[in-house]
Chain A
Amino acid sequence: MTADAHSPDGAAPTAAPSVADGTATDRATGRSTVALSDVPPHSAEFLATVAARELAGRRRVFAGVGLPTLAVDLARRTIDPNVELVYESGVVGAHPEAMAEGIADSVLVSGAEAMLSMDALFGYVLQGGHVDVGFLGAAQVDRIGNINTSVIGDWRRPEVRLPGSGGASDIIASAREIVVVLRRHDPHALPAEVDFCTSPSPARARRQEGFHQPAGAGVTTVITPLGILRRPDRYGELELAAVHPGVTVAEATGNAGWDLRVRADVAETPRPRTEDVRLLREEIDTVRLYLR
């Protein structure tokens, strides 16, 4: 998906979706320039901006809590105001007046386009095939895009008990595709194979012969503090598609838990604009709940 409109990798900053804010005119050349931020790639501001760009061209987004909350808010302000936010609590077409502190926040309900029962939300909206992209967090994502949000170690006596599925294993089966934001990029977060598969890739689902196969393409994009991994083939593996500024390809591949393939067209991720960072800090997450 290198050249399609959904992929912002390698796009020059000035080719980013045009917004009036943050654009300045260079006096010498008379050309329009965009002020870029130098927030580090591992920062929440950087990751949220990269995640927001992933929503270009997407219509209906199933958003989880945390960085996805920031990303969808930023995307609605800078990428596409028509992105429709769907939450597992039953909210459809949220128009929050303040940043949601969770997927069941009252601000998501007031002013929403619809409040559905959870049966209608998971049954009609999600299983019915109306979600374009599901935005999930994870403790681990492996080579073929399996997600672990359940346990680290042996599940009979786990080293760490993680939150579990929540809606994730339902979302991965039926959302058209899944974008994951990882806060770590190391062999623990990106193992060759997850310790426990909470939410399976289509390749793993296919091994269960005789089953009605899920419609979703699974994890197509993983945004990490070092770069962007993509999985263009439904049954294929994750590949390094971009590295963040200041990160080498060797760092990104060397810190994965398998021999991470590098795409021929591997690009450098465009920096956030100063306006993106300002919006995140001064208008979206003013209490610094997720921007820690």
Chain B
Amino acid sequence: MTGSKVTGSKVTTLREAVAEHVRDGMTVALEGFGHLIPFAAGHEIIRQRRRDLTVCRMTPDILTDQLLVAGCVSRLVASFFASGSAGSLHEIRRRVERHDPAPLETEEYSHYGMYCRYEAGAKRLPFQPLLSYVGSDLPELNPRIRAVESPYGEGKVYVVPPLNPDLTIVHAQRADPEGNTQLWGITGAQAPAAYAASAVIVTVEEVVEPEVVRADPNRTLIPAHAVDVVVEVPGGSHPSYAQGCYDRDSAFYREWTPISRDREAALAWIDEWIHGTADHAAYLAKLGRPRWDGLRVAPAPSGSVSYGRRKG
């Protein structure tokens, strides 16, 4: 977040947003906890062949596996190294177990430890305590997990350092042109990761009028002052999902496991599906209408609440 409040539209294209804000060697948080994963933005980073990135993601997921295959990442800060029910991320495993084709530096936390890093970063705290890790080998594996004595006499607790990415990228259901960003369903670490960062790109399913946002201010989790760039990217979370818009492409999650097991197949996938498509719209077109229609969800609207307005 730059802190400079620019009035007016921050809407641009994904190509321009990545070209302007993602530089080789940066620390980039791509957040979204199994939901609203910013796949389209990650794919654009691959298309623009960025290198040597430190990627921060609680759950690296298929997106990080793909960024690794494409050669964009040299370091990973994370708290889970598999793909949920779909199993192993084989590019990550190749790097870690066999240093094939190159070693991968990792910095590992638990989920809450990683979340607390963003929180400390967002709040500009020197560290944040949590009750985890007493007796665990994780602090030996990761010496950045340290202990402090409570000044209030409760004994020592483990603490984690702030995480302040150069750039945080998140995907959301909607935002207005100034960047007031509304998301619902599983909201992950998006808000603290945005506030912790020097710059923030928000991709959304839909850019809406400010009146739409202001009719329901409780749903704004990242206000405009924390957002630098807004990009409308419908379907921007595929193969992950956007609650209320489309469901997870679970078939793709299962397909990725055998693809990533074979490095040549994974490289071929990146060539065909990312470098072989001009942008995310072309990627979705290649995916095809029938597959997309299969991911559509039936509507389940929330009841509406009234915020009221003073009479007279």
Contact surface of A with B, Cβ cutoff 8 Å: 65-66, 88-91, 101-106, 109-111, 115, 117-119, 122-123, 126-127, 146, 150, 155, 157-170, 173-174, 196-202, 204-208, 210-215, 289-290
Contact = CB atoms under 8 A, between A and B. Distances in A.
A65 B85 contact: yes
A118 B32 CA distance: 11
27 contacts: A89-B34, A101-B250, A102-B84, A105-B248, A115-B186, A118-B189, A119-B192, A150-B141, A157-B97, A158-B97, A159-B97, A160-B97, A161-B93, A162-B81, A165-B80, A165-B109, A165-B111, A198-B136, A206-B135, A208-B156, A211-B134, A211-B156, A211-B157, A212-B134, A212-B150, A212-B156, A215-B131
B133 interface: yes
Given A115-B184, A212-B155, A104 B33 contact: yes
Interface string B115-129: 100010000000000
B26 to A, nearest CB: 24
A8 B93 CA distance: 40
Contacts of A158: 96-97
B195 interface: no
B235 to A, nearest CB: 15
B185 interface: yes
Nearest to B119: A119
Given A65-B85, A104-B34, A166-B59, 14 more contacts: A115-B187, A122-B111, A122-B112, A161-B93, A161-B97, A164-B78, A169-B138, A170-B130, A197-B137, A198-B138, A202-B135, A210-B155, A211-B157, A214-B131
Given A88-B111, A158-B97, A212 B35 contact: no
Contact of B112 (A91, A170, A215): A170
B18 interface: no
Contacts of A119: 115, 119, 192
B110 interface: yes
Contacts of A168: 110
B275 to A, nearest CB: 28
B218 to A, nearest CB: 12
Interface core residue of B80, B137, B141, B241 (most chain A CB under 10 Å) = B137
Contact of A115 (B138, B185, B247): B185
B80 A164 contact: yes
A211 B149 CA distance: 8
Interface in B81-124: 81-82, 84-85, 92-93, 96-97, 108-113, 115, 119
Contacts of A210: 149, 155-156
Nearest to B96: A161
B130 to A, nearest CB: 7
A102 B61 CA distance: 12
A169 B136 contact: yes
Contacts of A127: 112, 130-131
In the complex, which range does the number of interface residues on chain B fall in?
35 or more
B64 to A, nearest CB: 13
Interface in B176-196: 184-189, 191-192
Contacts of B147: 211
B186 A212 contact: no
A168 B85 CA distance: 16
A91 B185 CA distance: 9
B189 A104 contact: no
Given A106-B35, A106-B185, A122-B115, A170 B134 contact: no
A177 B247 CA distance: 34
Contact of B157 (A66, A122, A206, A212): A212
Contact of A211 (B155, B191, B248): B155
A207 B135 CA distance: 7
Contacts of A104: 33-35, 84, 186
A220 to B, nearest CB: 16
Contacts of B149: 210
Select the residue from B112, B191, B241 with max chain A CB neighbours within 10 A: B112
Contacts of B115: 118-119, 122
Which of B92, B138, B189, B243 has the most CB atoms of chain A within a 10 A radius of its CB?
B138
Contact of A208 (B97, B135, B192): B135
Nearest to B245: A106
Contact of A166 (B96, B110, B155, B189): B110
Contacts of B82: 162-164
Contacts of A208: 134-135, 156
Given A89-B33, A158-B97, A200-B134, A163 B81 contact: yes
A233 B34 CA distance: 37
B187 A90 contact: yes
B255 interface: no
A199 B136 contact: yes
A125 to B, nearest CB: 11
A213 B134 contact: yes
A90 B186 contact: yes
A202 B136 CA distance: 10
B287 interface: no
A200 B35 contact: no
Given A197-B135, A213-B134, A161 B33 contact: no
Contact of B185 (A109, A166, A170, A207): A109
A207 B137 CA distance: 13
A201 B110 contact: no
Nearest to B297: A106
B2 interface: no
Given A90-B186, A161-B96, A169-B110, A110 B137 contact: no
